[in-house]
Structure 1
Amino acid sequence: MKAIWLLVLFAWFAPTAHAAGGASLAFPNNLHQQDMPAVIVLFSLPDCAYCEKVRQQSLRHIHTDPNYKGRVGVYEIDFSDEKRSFIWFDGRRYTGKSLAAPLNVKFSPTVMVFGGTGAVAGRPLLGSGLPEFYGAYLDELIKNAWAL
């Protein structure tokens, strides 16, 4: 009985995808023609509470941060989506699902940072870690992207 109550409490207080707004980040219609020296892509799945945590704590502020404004693009791709397509850095059209395999995206959330031409800036960030550490890793990847 105690275990059931713990599950009920966890379900009640666990963050949901809509708890903090639930809105996705911008969709990358055409990354081949973007002009940012660094591009962050959140690869997510629908109803992923951890994706929302990463969106809110680590990614939403980037476009207003004076250190990053105009120098970093932030996008989100549902890597289970087989319908909505976009143009990747290589000029080819993909869906989230068709791009996931070549990039080895298997886990939600996965955050990858790319240089302006699509070169990967470093190892992907998987899951949602502590904001202090996650932010530091993300900053390092952005700096790597600027150096590409």
Structure 2
Amino acid sequence: MSLCNLWMTRRAAVLGSLMACASTTALAETASLPVPSSLPEALALALKSGNPLVILASLEGCPFCKIARENYLSPLQINPDNFIVQLNMRSQQTVVGFDGLSHSHDQLLKSWGIKVAPTVLFVGLSGKEIAERLVGGYLPDFYGAYLDERLNVARAVLSKAGAAR
């Protein structure tokens, strides 16, 4: 084997090892959102802090869902007053819905008319949506702004409802 071929072989081996390490690290650092067992309980915790319950309707393998979850929603969880959960399209995992009954994630999302992943919902008192849904991936330049706008609307609705009590 020539010196050049030996160098190229070693270089490829080193690069392959580095890529394997990087992908393993990336998988270990993948952000996730909690999957609730009870939406009324999750909502009660959110409302206690004066915030809406934010629900991500996600689909396994969806690259846009991954971006929404990892780049926009998971970072919001740094603030412990933000309550963000995930329900999964096509999942048969069960959750107690706002009606007090047990549903699969897929059944519940279909009953809410969700057909696009990702969809982000902003839920307030009595399990009612209190801001416009954030449907689809949008352009990355604007997704954060759209999310912030809807969160502000939802918080204002909750604040107004609290003042009316």
Percent identity for Structure 1 against Structure 2: 29
Q: Give unmatched runs, 5+ long, in structure 1.
A: 1-17
Partners of 2:127 and 2:144 lie apart in 1 by 21
Partners of 2:54 and 2:75 lie apart in 1 by 13
Partners of 1:132 and 1:121 lie apart in 2 by 24
Aligned ranges 1:1-148 → 2 under 5 Å = 21-34=29-42, 35-37=45-47, 38-65=52-79, 69-70=80-81, 72-82=82-92, 84-146=93-155, 147-148=157-158
Give 2:68's aligned amino acid: V
Q: Normalising to structure 1: TM-score of the pair?
A: 0.74
Partners of 1:117 and 1:145 lie apart in 2 by 14
1:9 aligns with none
Partners of 2:112 and 2:34 lie apart in 1 by 20
Partner SS for 1:117: helix
Higher helix share goes to which structure?
Answer: 2
Aligned 8 A contact 1:28 1:86 in 2: yes
Structure 1 or 2, whichever has the larger Rg, is 2
- In the TM superposition, residue 119 of structure 1 has moved relative to its aligned partner by 1.2
1:119-147 alpha-carbon deviations (Å, 9 max, x no partner): 10222212222344222222222223222
Q: Give unmatched runs, 5+ long, in structure 2.
A: 1-24, 159-165
Number of aligned positions between the proteins:
126
Runs of 4+ in 1 over 3 A off after TM superposition: 18-24
Aligned 8 A contact 1:27 1:76 in 2: yes
- In the TM superposition, residue 22 of structure 1 has moved relative to its aligned partner by 4.2
Aligned 8 A contact 2:58 2:118 in 1: yes
